[in-house]
């Protein structure tokens, strides 16, 4: 989403290019996880705890479906992503005629504050000039051809995303893209590499940390328990994805 905002690449064009890479990556994930957990899956018994199934609110369901379709249509039409999503949320809240206080209580404010603070810190880092100095040192390493730059940006993004997490890394590395041979291709490579690199380790993505924390009540996920699947998945999906991007560019 951040890259889509900064790059100004149309939603439809971005999705059309990265959909094949996403499908291939999903297939690789499925194959590796199924093979790795085949014994567990064979022996697993699903425990169905008795609980009351809430009654479907047909009117609210219809409103949400219509608004989702409208939002997606606005995305494809090229309207601003953030304002479109916000407008859709407001429309649902108005048409549903529910107490907005109850809805707002469900918002994860801690996560929003975390991201807001992250943007402040990264912007402060950018103002120091350190990211530009780092790029000037690394520029010869990236190479001059688009293909070389794509592969070098890929491995650099994978490492950077697992040191700093992918969101802050994108905020910094995004300022370098205009200096590459094919900026639009590099934006897509950055999007793919930082997203797939988030699978490498638990700290590679904020989403990973949220999942691990949410699972803590039921199961403790260790660093290497995760990494033994995350490492091969990340290497294979990223390599396959970049090759697809280079073929389709």
Judged against a pLDDT cut of 70, whether residue 145 lies above it is answered with yes
**pLDDT tens track for 18-30:** 999 999 999 999 9
Tally Cβ neighbours within 10 Å of residue 243: 14
Helix 109-127 with 166-173: angle, nearest 10 deg: 30
Number of domains in the chain: 1
Residues 226, 221: Cα–Cα separation, whole Å: 7
Q: Would 89 be classed as within a structural domain?
A: no
Q: Would 12 be classed as within a structural domain?
A: no
Domain holding 138, by residue range, is: 108-248
Q: Would 120 be classed as within a structural domain?
A: yes
Question: So what's the pLDDT on residue 49?
Answer: 63
Angle, CA 242 vertex, CA 237 and CA 248 arms, to 5°:
125
Judged against a pLDDT cut of 90, whether residue 39 lies above it is answered with no
Burial of 50 (0-12, 13-18, 19+ CB in 10 A): exposed
Residues 22, 150: Cα–Cα separation, whole Å: 17
Q: Would 84 be classed as within a structural domain?
A: no
Question: So what's the pLDDT on residue 46?
Answer: 60
Q: Would 82 be classed as within a structural domain?
A: no
| Confidence band, pLDDT 50/70/90 cuts, at residue 192 | very high
- Cα distances from 92 to residues 20, 55, 77, 112, 200, in angstroms, run 32, 19, 20, 21, 37
Q: Would 145 be classed as within a structural domain?
A: yes
Question: So what's the pLDDT on residue 50?
Answer: 66
Place of tokens 């009540």: 217
Enter the DSSP assignment of 145.
Answer: S
Helix 109-127 with 206-215: angle, nearest 10 deg: 150
| Confidence band, pLDDT 50/70/90 cuts, at residue 151 | very high
Question: So what's the pLDDT on residue 25?
Answer: 94
Rounded to two decimals, the pTM is 0.78
HEC states along 159-184?
Answer: HHHHHHCHHHHHHHHCCCHHHCCCHH
Q: Would 56 be classed as within a structural domain?
A: no
199-222: average pLDDT: 81
Question: So what's the pLDDT on residue 221?
Answer: 81
Q: Would 99 be classed as within a structural domain?
A: no
200-222: average pLDDT: 80
Question: So what's the pLDDT on residue 108?
Answer: 78
Question: So what's the pLDDT on residue 245?
Answer: 93
Note the maximum CA span of the chain: 62
Judged against a pLDDT cut of 70, whether residue 47 lies above it is answered with no
Judged against a pLDDT cut of 80, whether residue 239 lies above it is answered with yes
Neighbouring residues of 75: CB distance < 8 A, sequence distance ≥ 6: 11, 81, 84
- For the ranges 72-76, 112-116, 174-178, 236-240, the maximum mean pLDDT occurs at 236-240
200-219: average pLDDT: 80
Question: So what's the pLDDT on residue 48?
Answer: 60
Query: What is the sign, positive or negative, of the torsion defined by CA atoms of 215, 221, 227, 233?
Result: negative
Least confidently predicted of 8-12, 32-36, 63-67, 160-164: 160-164
Tokens of 36: 């790795």
Neighbouring residues of 223: CB distance < 8 A, sequence distance ≥ 6: 201, 202
Place of tokens 């018994």: 45
């Amino acid at each position: 989403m951040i890259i889509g905002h900064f790059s100004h690449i149309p939603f439809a064009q971005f999705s059309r290019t990265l959909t094949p890479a996403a499908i291939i990556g999903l297939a690789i994930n499925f194959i590796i996880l199924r093979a790795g957990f085949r014994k567990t899956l064979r022996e697993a018994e699903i425990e169905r705890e008795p609980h009351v199934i809430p009654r479907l609110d047909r009117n609210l369901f219809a409103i949400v479906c219509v608004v989702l379709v409208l939002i997606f249509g606005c995305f494809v039409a090229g309207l601003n992503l953030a304002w479109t999503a916000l407008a859709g949320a407001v429309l649902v809240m108005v048409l549903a005629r529910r107490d907005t206080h109850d809805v707002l209580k469900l918002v994860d404010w801690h996560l929003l504050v975390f991201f807001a603070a992250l943007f402040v810190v990264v912007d402060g880092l950018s103002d120091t000039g350190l990211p530009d100095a780092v790029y000037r040192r690394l520029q010869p390493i990236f190479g001059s051809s688009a293909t070389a730059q794509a592969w070098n940006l890929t491995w650099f993004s994978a490492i950077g995303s697992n040191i700093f997490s992918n969101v802050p890394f994108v905020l910094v590395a995004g300022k370098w893209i205009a200096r590459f041979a094919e900026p639009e291709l590099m934006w897509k490579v950055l999007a793919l590499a930082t997203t797939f690199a988030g699978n490498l380790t638990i700290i590679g993505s904020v989403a990973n940390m949220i999942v691990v924390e949410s699972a803590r009540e039921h199961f403790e996920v260790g660093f290497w328990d995760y990494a033994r699947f995350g490492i091969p998945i990340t290497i294979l999906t990223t390599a396959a994805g970049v090759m697809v991007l280079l073929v389709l560019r």
